[in-house]
Structure 1
Amino acid sequence: MDNFTHNPNENNNEVEAIILDSPSSPNFSNFSHPKPKRKRKIAALVALCVASAFIGGMTTIVALPHVYPELFKVNTSISALSPSTTPATPLNTGSTQFPVADIAKNVGPAVVGVTNFQPNQPSNFGFFSSGKNSTSSELVEAGSGSGFIIDAQNGYIVTNNHVIDGAKKITVSLSDGRNSEAKLVGADSRTDLAVLQISDTSNLTAITLGDSSTLEVGESVVAIGNPGGDDFARSVTTGVISALDRTLDIEGESSFGLIQTDAAINPGNSGGPLVNYEGKVIGINSAKYAKSGFEGMGFSIPISDALPTIEQIIKTGKASHPALYVSVSDQYNAYAQSHNLPGGAYIAEVSAGGPADKAGIKQGDVITKINDSTIKNSGDLIRELYKYNAGDTVKITLIRDGKTQDVQATLGELQSN
């Protein structure tokens, strides 16, 4: 009672409400009974009022459609369009896209785990070794990543070069629980690509290749891989294509215009597939922007750009790339920007007797175009050259001493290293 206060007028109202809601029989002993005659008059009056109201209501219902025909016509039309009588139209009618669950089910078996084994490091303390400064011959796990089966019949698997770099032994874990030692067919650090092969080809599932040249920003994608190793094997993450033709200053990745996605890509995802909603591989997950404060910025090598190198490795065990045999410095670009000069690939060194030397390209030249494609930096130069083959002749536009000129160069060849 201390928490409540009541005004005098509120008490009466509250008591009345309690009495009316009380389940007990009310006590009317203090009230006198009305005379029967007056009660019959009141009942007759009430009955007359009810009858009049009913007749008036029915008259109104019957008359309204004739007095206001337009009103009733509109109401009928609205009723016909109600959601309960209109079937829903399915989205993407005729689409060949699969739900994410189906993509995981169909593509997952083609995704593998890749483990890199290297010799144990020297021990200066003699722990777990036969003596001081000894090196164990035992191979230990140095890292792991992902890959995918590109040819089930022959057991070929694609992954990143950085996943298997320095390995003395490589093992592959399959979706059915099998573990196989893999042979390194070939690797190429310039494109960060590698091809492995396993001998046990029974019941393998290969991926289906897509066309990364037709991608659009905003398309839905699925990343599948082994973040953190086999404990999280074939993890599935979803997202969209955030951007296309991104550049990263990382060996291998700098050779491509990369696909940027917000699908989660973590350490261990490298080498795994980026798949579109048709269940086709359109990229090879290779890098993540890991700067503090940034999230959802993963990068994939476009499969259409990677395929020529993959095919070379499978066919010959190595990859070759067209080359000018020059060294390029991007320090020029900051200088050019501050002095309002054209950007390009600044030639810091020219190899004697190489294709650039034979074409008359000199140290200090700035290459601004290959054929009709603009070159703004060293990355542009590499990516544009990789569109051609060794032995092709290209027109090179360059700036020398403030003057623009064109030269013809026959591209040389660089082997994978």
Structure 2
Amino acid sequence: MFGNNENVKDVAWENVENNKGGTINFRRKKNKMRMVLKAVSVILIAAVSGAVTSLYIVNKRYPQMPDVTQTKNLSDKKIAASANEEHTNNVITKVADSVGPAVVGISGNIQNSPKSVNKSMGSGVIFDANGYIVTSYNNIQGAGEINVKLANYGKELKAQIVGGDVTSDLAVIKINAKNLPVIKFGDSSKVRVGDLAIAIGNSVDEEFTGYVTAGIISSLNRKVKGVNSYYRILQTDADINPANSGGALCNEQGEVIGINSIKIGKNRSKEIEGVGFAVPSNEAKEILNQIVKYGSCVKPSIGIRGKHVVLDNKSNVKGIYVQEVAKKSGAEVAGIRPTDILLEIDNQKLNEYKDFTQIIEKHKIGDSIKCKVWRSGNTMDVNVVIGDDAKER
């Protein structure tokens, strides 16, 4: 009926209707949809094959291609580190420029023998526009002649010793000059471990160049024991050496937070690299005021030497065992004797020796304080007038 069967697959129904002749008409039609699908399939296969081939080649030739995100993060970190370093360098430069004019070089001739004279060198800081300069006591100790060289000033000026304090390693000298640039003291109680520390000094040599080192504050709790008191000191990894000893230790704002001391450093660091010390500004200011006023550092004292003891746990006797009483001191006048034990001062118990020194340091010379004394099993209360430790040694 259909003729050759192999042509059936190439025909499609276009229209079916009953003609008057009673016959059914067919019309051949190419299947274009199947041809389109075949073409699309070929293109997809080619695309996938090309992608796989390309990936293989890339991995073969470039097996360690970096992650773009990771590379960007590393780049950002480098940029941030570079910016931070640049900021720190700018801060150091600004502080050196602002504080430098008030930092001086100091030299002195020390007569060791009739034929031997050594020249000491160090730094100092102008803290009063009328010529008052703070320096390290070690710089001027034993010096018969002291010379000061100002920044940007050609010749040396003679200086006179006003006074000093061996324990804190601070001294005050004065030159005949006025309207000098001065430093600004900062509040050392606000200093924190990790803060930027900039040490500035000047060495006295032919060129008289400034000497600047920088680091951080390493510790705040170091102490120096004096004859009858403690001094708190700042520890830094900024280099403290003979060139900047007596110079300024500054914060980021250009404020002086300490006075550098090579002597304290030698006594405690045992010349370990990266360990330097400075007298905190708050304590230095108080000492300087006393030196300018009295020629020495006046320390309040009741006139005893002793140590902390605990007799036994049952009696609960704990306090300062009196080993020595200074003549004409407040303690002697009040009747305190060696072998007595001070249990309380100002109604405060003495659990450690530092309690004793801290209470005394809060008072002024001439103040009267109440002391509870233990003697041979009995206690008594006495009033003691505070005097000057220097006069009671």
- Please, what TM-score do these two structures have when normalized by structure 1? 0.62
Describe the SS at the equivalent of 1:205: coil
Aligned to 2:238: 263
Aligned to 1:365: 340
* 1:382-411 alpha-carbon deviations (Å, 9 max, x no partner): 555333211112344555457776543221
* Whole-Å separation in 2 of the counterparts to 1:288 and 1:228: 21
Aligned to 1:107: 99
1:283 has 2:258 as partner: yes
* Whole-Å separation in 2 of the counterparts to 1:147 and 1:258: 18
Structure-to-structure mapping, 1:77-156, within 5 angstroms: 99-119=91-111, 121-123=113-115, 140-151=117-128, 153-156=129-132
* 1:62-118 alpha-carbon deviations (Å, 9 max, x no partner): xxxxxxxxxxxxxxxxx9xx97xx9x99999xx9x9711211121122111222223
Aligned to 2:323: 348
Q: Following TM superposition, by how much is the alpha carbon of 1:280 offset from its aligned partner in structure 2, in angstroms?
A: 0.7
Note if contact 2:105-2:204 (Cα within 8 Å) is conserved in structure 1. no
Q: Following TM superposition, by how much is the alpha carbon of 1:55 offset from its aligned partner in structure 2, in angstroms?
A: 8.0
Note if contact 1:191-1:255 (Cα within 8 Å) is conserved in structure 2. no
Aligned to 1:186: 163
* Whole-Å separation in 1 of the counterparts to 2:40 and 2:46: 10
Q: Report the CA distance shift for 1:249/1:410 in structure 2 as closer, same or farther (over 3 A).
A: closer
Structure number with greater Rg is 2
Aligned to 2:212: 236
Q: Following TM superposition, by how much is the alpha carbon of 1:314 offset from its aligned partner in structure 2, in angstroms?
A: 2.8
* 1:113-155 alpha-carbon deviations (Å, 9 max, x no partner): 22222346135xxxxxxxxxxxx9xxx444222210101x311
Q: Report the CA distance shift for 1:171/1:368 in structure 2 as closer, same or farther (over 3 A).
A: farther
* Whole-Å separation in 1 of the counterparts to 2:243 and 2:227: 18
Identity of aligned residues (%): 36
Q: Report the CA distance shift for 1:249/1:311 in structure 2 as closer, same or farther (over 3 A).
A: closer
Note if contact 1:241-1:262 (Cα within 8 Å) is conserved in structure 2. yes
Q: Report the CA distance shift for 1:215/1:171 in structure 2 as closer, same or farther (over 3 A).
A: same
Paired letter, 1:282:
I
Aligned to 2:148: 172
Q: Following TM superposition, by how much is the alpha carbon of 1:298 offset from its aligned partner in structure 2, in angstroms?
A: 2.2
How many residue pairs get matched? 323
Note if contact 2:195-2:216 (Cα within 8 Å) is conserved in structure 1. yes
Note if contact 1:180-1:200 (Cα within 8 Å) is conserved in structure 2. no
Q: Report the CA distance shift for 1:319/1:109 in structure 2 as closer, same or farther (over 3 A).
A: same
Note if contact 2:211-2:243 (Cα within 8 Å) is conserved in structure 1. no
* 1:16-68 alpha-carbon deviations (Å, 9 max, x no partner): xxxxxxxxxxxxxxxxxxxxxxxxxxxxxxx99884468889xxxxxxxxxxx
Note if contact 1:264-1:298 (Cα within 8 Å) is conserved in structure 2. yes
Paired letter, 1:313:
I
Instruction: Indicate which of 366, 370, 392 corresponds to 2:367.
Output: 392
Q: Following TM superposition, by how much is the alpha carbon of 1:322 offset from its aligned partner in structure 2, in angstroms?
A: 1.9
Aligned to 1:411: 386
Q: Report the CA distance shift for 1:266/1:362 in structure 2 as closer, same or farther (over 3 A).
A: same
* Whole-Å separation in 2 of the counterparts to 1:281 and 1:115: 22
Instruction: Indicate which of 256, 265, 281 corresponds to 1:303.
Output: 281
* Whole-Å separation in 1 of the counterparts to 2:243 and 2:102: 16
Q: Report the CA distance shift for 1:165/1:381 in structure 2 as closer, same or farther (over 3 A).
A: farther
Aligned to 1:68: none
* Whole-Å separation in 2 of the counterparts to 1:373 and 1:52: 93
Q: Report the CA distance shift for 1:170/1:227 in structure 2 as closer, same or farther (over 3 A).
A: closer
Q: Report the CA distance shift for 1:314/1:263 in structure 2 as closer, same or farther (over 3 A).
A: same
Aligned to 2:193: 217
* Whole-Å separation in 1 of the counterparts to 2:196 and 2:311: 39
Q: Report the CA distance shift for 1:374/1:51 in structure 2 as closer, same or farther (over 3 A).
A: farther
Note if contact 1:256-1:383 (Cα within 8 Å) is conserved in structure 2. no
Q: Report the CA distance shift for 1:177/1:201 in structure 2 as closer, same or farther (over 3 A).
A: same
* Whole-Å separation in 1 of the counterparts to 2:378 and 2:232: 30
Tell me which protein shows more strand as a share of its residues.
Answer: 2
Q: Report the CA distance shift for 1:212/1:293 in structure 2 as closer, same or farther (over 3 A).
A: closer
Describe the SS at the equivalent of 1:257: strand
* Whole-Å separation in 2 of the counterparts to 1:373 and 1:148: 41
Note if contact 1:257-1:383 (Cα within 8 Å) is conserved in structure 2. no
Aligned to 2:298: 320
* Whole-Å separation in 2 of the counterparts to 1:343 and 1:218: 39
